[in-house]
Amino acid sequence: MSPITYFFSRLLQIIPTFLIVMVIIFLLVRALPGDPAIAMADAKATAEQLEQIRQRLGLNEPLWVQFLYFVRNVFTGNLGDSILLKAPVIQVILERLPASGFLALYAVSFSLLIAGPLAFVAALNRNGWLDITVRAVFQIGLSTPVFYIGLLLLTFLAAQLRWFPVGGYGTTFWEHMYHLLLPALTVALYTSAIIMRNLRSSIIEVVDAEYVQFARAKGLPEHLVLGRHVLRNALISTVTLLGLSIGNLMSGTLVTETVFAVPGVGRLMLDAIFARDYPLIQGLTLMFTILVSMIFLLTDMIHAWLDPRMRVK
Amino acid sequence: MTMATFEKIASLNLHKRPGFLVGAFILTMSALLALFPGFFAPFDPNAFNYSALKQPPSADHWFGTDNLGRDTFSRVIWAYSINMQMAIVATVFAMLIGVIVGALVGYYGGIADAIFGRCVDAIITFPFLVLVIAVVAVLGPGLTNMYIAITLVGWVYYARLMRAEIMGQMANEYATAGKVIGCSDMRIIFRHLLPNAITPVLTYWMTDMALAILLGSSLGYLGLGAQPPTAEWGVLIAEGRNFITTAWWLSLMPGIAIVLTGLGFSLVGDSVADLMRPRG
């Protein structure tokens, strides 16, 4: 299968999934107790004003017609207005997205820098003291909630030692790097624990594989065995792992943004919930799922590109 | 669990695994604290004491006191009841629903299975926390609604696992034999296939309980789970956040309980998963 056909066949698979996602999001907001019109209007609205809102939102139509409206609106990017920020939902989200994207990429880089080398060291010294120490530390990392890691870093490095700012985002690139260092580290400490654990076992699997033993048997120097055969395969599983843990990454950034007051979409989601800003909640949930399915697709593509076996299938 | 599973566990010398032993010890202690908090806590968790406000950890108050003079150590102990309850309540219903749906879908296959597959794909496209938070947003914050939200999302993972296991078991001869001697479908599914297919689900359940505690306390911290003044680890940490520069112990001490309990669950869970993995 050529890469292009593969891409389109994967894209086709996404369509029914995405349709169900939209049904879930649609029903979620419709399941709200009470009248959405009352939720969207201010407290002093008259009966006529409420009726107007119902008309405008199509709330008097049958449910399936409302769903079709919703689908049309999603595809035209018309997600309504945020009650909290009095601006179009799509605009509010796009304003907040860069900070979260920056944080996520920053965190992924950190995770790879932490997990990659340690997984290698642990796997190559299997059951040695180094392996046991690394695994024990990461086991503790996995049992620590993200917000607690964040709070520890915030308390000691930002509030007590004053090495870092306690929140915010800054305006220039280097200010972003500085402001988001602790938040990125917070997310990375958690995600790297997941990556390191899986990477270690996949490296162990590869090291024992027959083709690696064959590479050794034919006299290939050890650094080439590791570089050419083990590393390449480890890379494949890392990509897959990163793709699959995108949900964890987003959950992590959501919590971290509230701890460090980063003006991103995660923090926006919580603000929206406490303000009962349903158009915004709906828009954000949709955005998160679109991002995840895009990442899943991208992961599959990179996987197919790295792993020749995928191309034959 | 079947007798064979018990024998398998007994033959694996669990007591020779330090990770399992440490985990089991932590869980036993946690269970005792959760069941009898009044016995272990030195103070009333909700009693104000205006003569001891924001005191650092001392011999009297091991974890210090908060801005109302409440003893943090006692509050952390009382929170064990809530947080251990989370591990059970947030997972058990999801497991029950997941096991039943997964078993039925796996056995009957066909159109139900196809629809199920699409739904699973859709639900796992949501980041877990985002979907749970969205459901809590609709239902309103609070402990009960949090349980409902986690169950609504979490059952899918059990169902997916159960479906795959049931389908694997159906390839065995004993399943066909049941059919041949005229057993009803329900009898084959729940008496013949299920006992053989349940082990991976129970293993996942152990890890899920650890996740439930982390998730529950995170939601408590964000203000979406248990509500103040309930003593719950996430809530305690959130309450202490305002005093992080003047009274660090308020936020940092409850976290130790989370890490320890989470560690207990994952150590036991990992050992069990390790043992259940078919070897050879």
ipTM of the complex: 0.85
Question: Is B246's Cβ below 8 Å from some Cβ in A?
Answer: no
Within a domain: B60 = no
Which residue in chain B is spatially nearest to A260 when comparing CA positions? B241
pLDDT computed for residue B257 by the predictor: 92
Which stretches within B223-248 are classed as H helix? 233-241
DSSP structure string for B119-175: HHHHHHHS-HHHHHHHHHHHH-SSHHHHHHHHHHHHHHHHHHHHHHHHHHHHTSHHH
Which of B:43-82 have CB within 8 Å of A? none
pLDDT computed for residue A41 by the predictor: 65
For residue B262, give the CATH number of its domain. Answer: 1.10.3720.10
- Average pLDDT over all residues of chain A: 83
* Cβ(B164)–Cβ(B157) below 8 Å: no
Within a domain: B65 = no
Within a domain: B30 = no
> What domain count does chain B have?
1
Instruction: Average the pLDDT over A251-271 and give the result.
Output: 90
DSSP structure string for B14-33: GGG-HHHHHHHHHHHHHHHH
Given a cut of 90, whether residue B260 has pLDDT beyond it is: yes
Place of tokens 């076992």: A201
Within a domain: B218 = yes
Spatial separation of the C-alpha atoms in residues A245 and B160, rounded to whole Å: 18
Residue A88 bridge partners (DSSP): A81
Question: Is A219's Cβ below 8 Å from some Cβ in B?
Answer: no
Secondary structure (3-state) at A254: helix
Which residue in chain B is spatially nearest to A154 when comparing CA positions? B244
pLDDT tens-digit series, residues A52-110: 777 776 777 787 888 888 888 888 888 888 878 888 888 999 999 999 999 999 999 99
* Chain A residues touching residue B154 (CB < 8 angstroms): none
CB contact under 8 A, B128 and A288: no
Instruction: Average the pLDDT over B179-197 and give the result.
Output: 85
Backbone φ, ψ for residue A81 (5° rounding): -105, 145
Within a domain: B36 = no
Instruction: Average the pLDDT over A257-285 and give the result.
Output: 87
Within a domain: B211 = yes
Within a domain: B16 = no
Nearest to B209 by CA among B130, B125, B267: B267
Q: At A112, list the tokens.
A: 């790879």
* Cβ(B131)–Cβ(B123) below 8 Å: yes
pLDDT tens-digit series, residues A138-152: 888 888 999 999 998
Within a domain: B265 = yes
Q: At A21, list the tokens.
A: 């996602």
Question: Could you tell me how many helices (H) and strands (E) chain A has, helices first?
Answer: 16, 0
Backbone φ, ψ for residue B171 (5° rounding): -70, -15
Verdict on whether the full-model pTM lies above 0.80: yes
Instruction: Average the pLDDT over B50-77 and give the result.
Output: 83
* Cβ(B101)–Cβ(B159) below 8 Å: yes
* Chain B residues touching residue A255 (CB < 8 angstroms): 129, 218, 221-222
Question: B1 or A212, which is more confident?
Answer: A212
Buried b or exposed e, range A120-154, using 16+ CB within 10 angstroms: bebbbeeeeeebeebbeebbebbbbbbbbbbbbbb
Spatial separation of the C-alpha atoms in residues A203 and A201, rounded to whole Å: 5
**Domain containing residue B109:** 73-275
